Structure 1
């Protein structure tokens, strides 16, 4: 066996494999140049040139094709380089790699919690609109039965601001409720989540009654925070039945079934007050946040004006 010949054949084969990768970048250019040379008229002597000039008058010259766009390099790039790059990146950053496992260990729960919370907010806003239309008749009938004619807020501007601020506060409080459920201590997170839901459901049910009594939002929130033992107990049954399933559709159906009954119960109820000297300020963070947003949006130059007046003094 010729070892030298085998070695040369090996090297030559390896070179041909590398040369093919280099050739692909100018193969289309070479083919285009050959096609141009084949279609272009050949060089002749003067006599033949004259005959050619005469024939040109009778026979139109064949138009040359434009340079075709390079295809071989792009196809090799699409079919070879990009899948190889995808394989390398998936090996480094994929789910089964070390980097992928490390990144997804904290990224996956974060994105899951974020999207679970994010898609609930539009559903909550839609339910607020639907509930105000569907359940308002039930609330008005229950209020007329127990207390007589409703008393609404006289000022249209105050009424509109009260409704908008109420929706914003309840939306922020719902986000706060989901946030406390993600506390690493599972039992503590579920306990705080249940307390928040009890207060929120009580506010839902009693808000129809207090709205017909012309109570403004700050009075409603102060009343429910001051008498929190009663309202936690009032909202606990609805919080329990809506948490029986992890499905939001099933929980929403349960809420829609039982919530009208809680509206009637709230209109008939006489809350026990004054039993606790320490109010439970669960709504204070969202109240402070909403006030900050409203103050800056309504009068953004207020702080600048105060600073300028103080400097002039």
Structure 2
């Protein structure tokens, strides 16, 4: 199952309580960035080009757990940087599990085989491995040969140890629908739990500005991928399992229109609470309350703000 029933129930109950309380804006996923240091330098990443004095900083275990409590989101996604570089990551994960939050521990998997025994399978923990396609596509995406093979081997190891394992795939304008369909088929064949998809967002700080998607190319790309998948299912291929709702996948194809809700995925890092979202840096608040009360939310979103024009990313 793409999202476990227990998690579906808990999140649905949380949303019901928020609506019952009349809360218009509430957090769903805390984007928790304990560090920006990474062991890769992906050209499409806008998070790793900080100077050494920034890259060497870390959020403490106490910082991370306090941020989760302050925010109250039922889901915590831990991106980076590379989270497994953080020596206290096992304690951070353990603390969040004790808070009964659903954790997506993101990783490029280069250290996963070495670090896997630092963690225990839990219904609250999903290991989310960054894979942007098959061997050729992913190694090009991360600008390093051999990374795909390490990641696939680590995925198989984690699955064999009873962990729930997803992949997160960011697609750029050089993605081939046919190759991506082959990749998704292969991921289902090895027993992956689910796939999370995202069109590449044009980070201002990213080294490669040539391969990000605009809204039109996003829609055509995902329509082509899902069309191929549908045809293959008719021929007996396994159905692709996604960790996102069918409504969002339909949105990627241009069949749905939604207003952005950046407050739903607040981002906390060594700088504080980022305005207005994980993707756009317009300053920082010292507290979650300050973020919610002083950010001009109505100024952001497609049609209202230039930096949001091409964004179709799940964060909002």
Structure 1 or 2: more helix by fraction:
1
Of structures 1 and 2, the one scoring higher in RCO (CA 8 A, sep 6+) is 2
Q: By percentage of residues, which structure has more strand?
A: 2
Q: Same fold (TM over 0.5)?
A: no
The interval holding the TM-score normalised by the smaller chain is: under 0.3
* Structure of greater Rg: 1
Q: TM-score, normalised by structure 2?
A: 0.20
